[in-house]
Amino acid sequence: MGLFSDIEPAEIEKMLLCSRAVRKELSAGDYIFRQGEKPQMIFLLQEGEVGLVKDFASGRRNLLYTVKPGEVFGEAFLFSGQSRYWYDAAVMHPGRVLMIPWRFFYGFCENACGHHQLITRNLLEILAGRNFTMTKKLHLLTSTSLKEKLAIYLLENAGRDGRVEMNMRREDFADFLGVARPSLSRELMNMQKDGLIAVEKDAIRILDQEELECFY
């Protein structure tokens, strides 16, 4: 489900004009917003990749999740009542983002009201999906060991052939799991040595699913 699902292209452009949405070019290393800033927009990534990250004073970084083209982010702050961002939106790969002011979702407009209910419905479905995703990550992060975290991640993301495409760099994957990169590399090597997985260039293949399920 996308933000503009079931809405005709001509109506989308009309809505963007009415909402005073802005398109912004992104460069790797940029920040779309920072912790502590006041939320005012909903963002739709059109190209590139964005990481929603939480940085700590110790220097440790936790990658909450990555945003791919076509996905919405920042939407949780629209209805939550939070007055400040508590994480950063860091540009991982250059691209473009569409920024839509909040006020558009709070009222109806004579220019776009025919499709206003649709975009609000789409946004609520996105919120529900995001909540499910974060619930799964909470289950992953509350696991007691790194091996358990890896087992849960691999089992939930494996294809029918047992292959898990690794779209994150090793460092980003470590941040996603909330662990140090050396610890992650060491555990992957141990699991491979035990015959549980095979670490490939851009993927991890599950070799013993039954054993991994014991850690789920």
Distance CA 182, CA 154 (A): 19
Q: Which residues contact 13 (CB under 8 A, 6 or more apart)?
A: none
* Averaged confidence pLDDT in the chain: 85
Domain ranges within the chain, ordered by starting residue: 9-136, 143-213
Distance CA 139, CA 209 (A): 19
**pLDDT in the model for residue 94:** 96
Assign 81 a pLDDT band (cuts: 50, 70, 90): low
Give the pLDDT confidence of 17-28 residue by residue, as tens digits. 888 999 999 999
Between 59 and 38, where is the model more confident? 38
CATH of domain 9-136: 2.60.120.10
Assign 168 a pLDDT band (cuts: 50, 70, 90): confident
Strand residues in 17-152 grouped as ranges (E) = 22-26, 31-33, 41-55, 61-67, 72-73, 88-101
The CATH class of the 143-213 domain is mainly alpha
Distance CA 205, CA 150 (A): 12
> Is residue 111's pLDDT more than 60?
no
Is the pTM higher than 0.75? The answer reads no
Assign 190 a pLDDT band (cuts: 50, 70, 90): very high
